[in-house]
């Protein structure tokens, strides 16, 4: 991570704007609780917040609840870009949605603006989309150009055409694909900042296997084994 981050832990904020998460039984986090979470995070050395235009009211909530002495490095994301847009419409869409994000966040700039859908950088208007973020970077409105991806194949396609500063990828105890293939090391060696997400699979990893819905039956034995291993070491 960048040296300006005090800890390698960032805080995802989708539940600040949506009723989100497999293990979420209490709905969207209330704003008074958001304030407490943000203060605790800041005091604990967390300096990165991850949000997105698609995360319901998350950006607005952050704009209202971040205290003035908590200068978090904020990452937000461009919504999926319609394949029907012309090059001109694509540029207008990106600039307009980003301007809206800044207003909601009450910020003049953000740490990174990401393509929420990596496939947007493989479309017919990909060049215009990328150039728009380069322009925003040159204007000092963003520090890093990022992309959120699900697979190594997506990232490889994007990186063949464009220089990316930051990537966000899934990674957890059950999903080690990018580490085992050596691709995370490749990204690191290329100087790309790596952010991982789905650390707890929306809380699924922290749930009691006996409480899972039938939909999750395929993962139940693996989760039970994980819990058994944790118990052997006397930890949760």
Q: State residue 135's pLDDT score.
A: 98
Q: Sheet of 48-50: strands edge to edge?
A: 11-12, 48-50, 73-78, 110-115, 142-148, 166-170, 193-197
- What angle do the packed helices 126-138 and 152-161 form, to 10 degrees? 70
In this prediction, residue 1 carries a pLDDT of: 45
DSSP state of 67: -
CA distance 141 to 138: 8
E strands in 3-88: 11-12, 48-50, 73-78
For 96-134, give one letter per residue: b (16+ CB within 10 A) or e.
ebbeebbebbebeebbbbbbbbbbbbebebbebbbebbe
Report the alpha-carbon distance of residue 14 to residue 17 in Å, rounded: 6
Q: What is the pLDDT of residue 27?
A: 78
User: Using 50, 70 and 90 to split pLDDT, how confident is the model at 158?
Assistant: very high
Nearest in space to 117 (alpha carbons), one of 170, 77, 161: 77
In this predicted structure, what is the pLDDT of residue 6?
66
28 compared with 99, residue with greater pLDDT: 99
Assigned token pair, 152: 């190594």
**Which residue, among 161, 178, 181, has the nearest Cα to 169 in the 3D structure?**
178
43 vs 154: CA distance, rounded Å: 36
pLDDT tens track for 103-151: 999 999 999 999 999 999 999 999 999 999 999 999 999 999 999 999 9
Q: Categorize the per-residue pLDDT at 66 as very low, low, confident or very high, splitting at 50, 70 and 90.
A: very high
pLDDT recorded at residue 203? 87
The yes-or-no verdict on residue 46 having pLDDT over 80 is: yes
Q: How far apart are CA 165 and CA 187, in angstroms?
A: 10
- pLDDT value at position 163? 97
């Amino acid at each position: 991570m960048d040296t300006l981050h005090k800890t390698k832990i960032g805080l995802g904020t989708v539940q600040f704007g949506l009723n989100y998460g497999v293990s979420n039984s209490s709905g969207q986090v209330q704003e008074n609780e958001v304030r407490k979470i943000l203060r605790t995070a800041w005091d604990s050395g967390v300096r990165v917040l991850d949000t997105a235009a698609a995360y319901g009211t998350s950006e607005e909530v952050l704009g209202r609840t971040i205290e003035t002495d908590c200068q978090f490095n904020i990452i937000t994301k461009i919504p999926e870009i319609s394949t029907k847009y012309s090059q001109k419409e694509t540029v207008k869409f990106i600039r307009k949605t980003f301007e809206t994000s800044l207003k909601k966040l009450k910020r003049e700039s953000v740490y990174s603006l990401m393509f929420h859908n990596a496939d947007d950088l493989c479309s017919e208007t990909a060049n215009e989309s990328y150039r728009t973020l380069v322009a925003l970077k040159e204007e000092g409105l963003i520090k890093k150009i990022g992309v959120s991806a699900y697979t190594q194949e997506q990232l490889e396609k994007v990186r063949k055409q464009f220089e990316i500063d930051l990537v966000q990828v899934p990674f957890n105890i059950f999903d080690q694909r990018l580490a085992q293939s050596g691709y995370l090391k490749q990204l690191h060696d290329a100087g790309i900042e790596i952010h991982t997400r789905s650390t707890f699979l929306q809380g699924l990893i922290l749930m009691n296997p006996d409480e899972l819905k039938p939909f999750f039956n395929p993962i139940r034995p693996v989760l039970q084994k994980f819990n058994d291993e944790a118990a052997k070491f006397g930890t949760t």
